[in-house]
Amino acid sequence: MLGVDMYLDTIVDNLSGGQRRRLDILCAAIGKPALLVLDEPTSGIDSEGRAVIWDFIRCLRSEGSAILATTHNLSEAEMFADVLMVMKEGKISFEGRVKDVIARLGEYKRINIINPSKRIIMLFEESGLSYKLSGMSITAIGNEVKVNQLCELIRDESDVIDVFLDSARLEDVLTVNTGMEM
């Protein structure tokens, strides 16, 4: 369970932070509680550990436990939450099922270009879309019409290597609508 069985003979002080977090969750789940409250259950945990923890949480849910978890990791919230509440300045900004929250905030698309030229960056700036330049890529998020218009302009550029176009994630939609950086 949660990969801690191999540490049964290990003193807790000798466990890593991730192993301790798994042990904490396992102890909290003893007796199959009707409600399990978890504060940032995967914070500071590597990707393998996060997968193990979320598998365990899914198992608890399937056995009838309700899970209330806080997280700053919206991709995890998008994948695992039934109902989502987004807090801003101590108040609930948005609440509902993930797909309903996204739908209520509007249909958004995401475009990402690897290794953008100065001309491409200028097109992003002129588009009026919310965009982020980081490292070797530029990403814009916006309504489908504006993103498609930007795609049309970019299509004529010869120096574009890779263009990725997909649906915006929960994090993108909330960032655009609330101004909150996630």
Does residue 182 have a pLDDT over 50? no
CATH code assigned to 5-102:
3.40.50.300
**Parallel, antiparallel, or unpaired: how do β-strands 108-114 and 130-134 relate?**
unpaired
pLDDT of residue 63: 92
Q: Which residues does 149 contact at the CB level (< 8 Å), separation at least 6?
A: 127
Left if phi > 0, otherwise alpha if psi is -120 to 50, otherwise beta: which for 78? alpha
Q: Per-domain residue ranges for the chain? A: 5-102, 106-178
Please check the confidence at residue 72 and state whether its pLDDT lies above 50.
Answer: yes
The pair phi, psi for residue 24, each rounded to 5°, is: -55, -45
If DSSP codes are grouped into helix, strand and coil, which group holds residue 134? strand
Domain spanning 106-178: which superfamily?
Answer: ACT-like. Chain A, domain 2 (3.30.70.1150)
Per-residue model confidence (pLDDT) at position 162? 65
Is there a shared CATH topology between the 5-102 domain and the 106-178 domain? no
The pLDDT of residue 155 is 78
Give tens-digit pLDDT for 110-160: 888 888 888 888 888 888 887 888 888 888 887 788 888 888 888 777 666
Task: Kindly state the percentage of the chain with pLDDT values over 70.
Answer: 90
Residue spans of beta strands (DSSP E) within the chain: 35-39, 66-70, 84-88, 91-96, 108-114, 130-134, 137-143, 162-167
Which pTM does this prediction carry?
A: 0.64
Q: How many CB atoms lie within 10 A of CB 1?
A: 11
Structure confidence at residue 57 (pLDDT): 92
Burial (CB count <10 Å: 0-12, 13-18, 19+), residue 141: buried
